[in-house]
Amino acid sequence: MVGVPSRHKSIFLLGGMVLLQVLFLAFQVKRDSQGRLIRVWTVSAMSPFERAGSYGIGSVRGTWGHYFALQNTSRDNEQLRHENEALKLQVTQLESRVAEAARLERLLNFRSSHQQVPMLGARVIGASADSATRTIYLDRGEHDGIQKNMGVITPDGIVGKVIETFGNTSQVLLLTDKDSGVGAMLADSRIQSPVGGTGEPLLEMKYVANDDKVDVGERVVTSGMDRIFPRDLPVGTVKEIKPGNPFKLIRVQPAASLERLEEVIVLLTLQPLDLQKGASETAAPVANGKVASGVAAADKPAIDKPALNR
């Protein structure tokens, strides 16, 4: 029996581990499996830290920044600065809350103008663990009614779609990810074409023929053809147009600030939606002093101040 020299053991171990992972990877590709159990474990282990960090560091960051900015302006009067220090801290805390309230107010306004549409406010608590993918984690998950493939938006425009759900967390594929795409059309000419991510800040509109007229600055909105997002939600604006073969190369600036997301809205349905129809239908019952019928319990307005102020 010939033993394996100890210095070669690590090479065998390396070969074994790499082979094992290659087989695991092949299994996932073949079976379209995504190793959900392992993902649930790791995300469940990490999300409490992300959740705590999101709330803790966010408030510390606001207070810290404002406090030192104010400190510079009050050098002229040292005595007054000391006396007012506590007050200033309170002011800065209030300022950051006002800014947050303004953001939440926009979400609430958006929600109240589309009461027929089931929506849920959620806070962004983390981003992707690698630099190649563009995903974010939300502080709401399956327990709040979120399911895979639900659309995620802000009042400014669409954000992406839910690609994975866990108990109290969910993961959203941003529109800028290279695997992302949305049914879209040009707002003026109504030319339809999917818009996809490239892994960079700008999006790409893919199949617009060279003969079609497109202007820089033209708005791009959802077409509703992907059955995830309702029609006419802002996707972005045309930033750059180049002739291509056989289609134009159109770069689109996303309407929502995808790099600075803090709160988002999840569309709590997998059915095709019509926001404009929803809004007009809502107006009539409210005018009559009645609540619109046919709104299931799960479809009740989910954006409430306590929930968003968490």
20 sits in which H/E element: helix 6-31
Contact 150, 267 (CB under 8 A): yes
Backbone angles phi, psi at 294, to 5 degrees: 80, 10
Minimum gap (Å) between residue 251 Cβ and another protein: 17
Minimum gap (Å) between residue 130 Cβ and another protein: 5
| 99 binds another protein per the rule CB under 8 A | no
Question: Burial, 144: exposed, middle or buried (Cβ in 10 Å; 0-12, 13-18, 19+)?
Answer: buried
List the one residue from 99, 103, 108, 137 that touches another protein (CB under 8 A): 137
| 202 binds another protein per the rule CB under 8 A | no
Minimum gap (Å) between residue 90 Cβ and another protein: 24
**Residue 196 pairs with which residues in a beta bridge?**
181, 204
Angle at 256 between CA 252 and CA 261, to 5 degrees: 135
- Please name the amino acid found at residue 26: A
Distance (Å, whole) CA 31 – CA 18: 20
CB-nearer residue toward another protein: 196 or 224: 196
Q: What's the length of the chain?
A: 310
Distance (Å, whole) CA 43 – CA 122: 17
Minimum gap (Å) between residue 163 Cβ and another protein: 6
Minimum gap (Å) between residue 182 Cβ and another protein: 16
Mask of contacts with another protein, 222-261, x by CB under 8 A?
-------------------------------------xxx
User: Over 27-56, what HEC string results?
Assistant: HHHHHCCCCHHHHHHHHHHHHHHHHHHHHH
Give residues 44-73 in contact with another protein (rule: CB under 8 A). Answer: 46, 49-50, 53-54, 57, 61
List the one residue from 34, 73, 276, 309 that touches another protein (CB under 8 A): 34
CB-nearer residue toward another protein: 118 or 160: 160
Distance (Å, whole) CA 227 – CA 223: 9
List the one residue from 144, 177, 204, 263 that touches another protein (CB under 8 A): 177
For 219, the 3-state DSSP assignment is strand
Which residues are at the interface with another protein (CB under 8 A)?
9-11, 13-14, 17-18, 21-22, 24-26, 28-29, 34-35, 38-39, 41-43, 46, 49-50, 53-54, 57, 61, 124, 126-133, 135-137, 163-164, 171, 173, 177, 179, 259-261
